[in-house]
Chains A and B, each alone.
Chain A
């Protein structure tokens, strides 16, 4: 099953404060991009989970800043191990 990111970003290209950032117009699920919510971002090869911090209008478009939570598969493994989600 193909990965469908909520919003893609370059995890290596963080801002000066170490935050992830992306453009809202690239979001596959723009309705999920809400400050405080968790989203799947990065790229399809190595998706990560991040928390949306802020959404700001800028000259280049609507920019979303996010705090990296961790590797998506590693988080899924932790949740299944703790039986928070079923396998």
Chain B
């Protein structure tokens, strides 16, 4: 899947209009992000490319991966049973590790959703992000429970 060139960001939806906190800042109590599997660079790149065709961030195409934040009122179990109900597997990564790795995290859409921004749209950054999530991959017990 390739899109060359990406659409003019001025014609896209500014993600700034979809922040659910001031400036999209991640709430301080949100320490972990959750992502449904597959946790792979190519899959992350495909997702990021789609985002970059729809959304802009600060006037540029936004290459990002959708995640959900663990919050006091939105624990992991609620995310696994809700947003990730159709995913067999998932992975977690601390927000601090993402930020330390150079990935901006923004509270976007509706709580507890967050976008993790790739500094550059490409397989290198997508693989690097997947590497942060991959060590903490696990089965989603709520999916098997329904079958």
Do A74 and B7 have beta carbons less than 8 Å apart? no
Interface hub of A58, A60, A68 (most chain B Cβ within 10 A): A60
Which B residues, 24 to 78, have Cβ-Cβ distances below 8 Å to chain A?
35-38, 43, 46-47, 50-54, 65-68
Q: Report how far A41 CA is from B65 CA in the complex, Å.
A: 18
Known contacts A43-B43, A45-B37: does B68 contact A60 (CB below 8 Å)?
Answer: no
5 A-B pairs besides A45-B89, A71-B85 with CB distance below 8 A are A21-B54, A22-B50, A45-B37, A46-B37, A48-B86
Which B residues, 1 to 22, have Cβ-Cβ distances below 8 Å to chain A?
1, 3, 6-8, 11-12, 18
Shortest C-beta distance, A14 to chain B (Å), equals 7
Contacts of A70 in B (CB 8 A): 86
Q: B interface, how many residues as a size bin?
A: 35 or more
Do A59 and B66 have beta carbons less than 8 Å apart? no
Do A10 and B47 have beta carbons less than 8 Å apart? yes
Q: Is B109 interfacial (CB 8 A cutoff)?
A: yes
Contacts of B46 in A (CB 8 A): 8
Which residues of A pack against B, CB within 8 Å?
A: 8-16, 18, 21-23, 26, 42-43, 45-46, 48, 58-61, 63, 68, 70-71, 73-74, 77
Which residues of B pack against A, CB within 8 Å?
A: 1, 3, 6-8, 11-12, 18, 35-38, 43, 46-47, 50-54, 65-68, 83-89, 109-110, 113, 143, 146-147
Q: Which residue of B lies closest to A48 (CB)?
A: B86
Contact among A14, A60, A74 with B109 in the assembled complex (CB-CB below 8 Å): A14
Contacts of B35 in A (CB 8 A): 12
Q: Report how far A45 CA is from B6 CA in the complex, Å.
A: 28
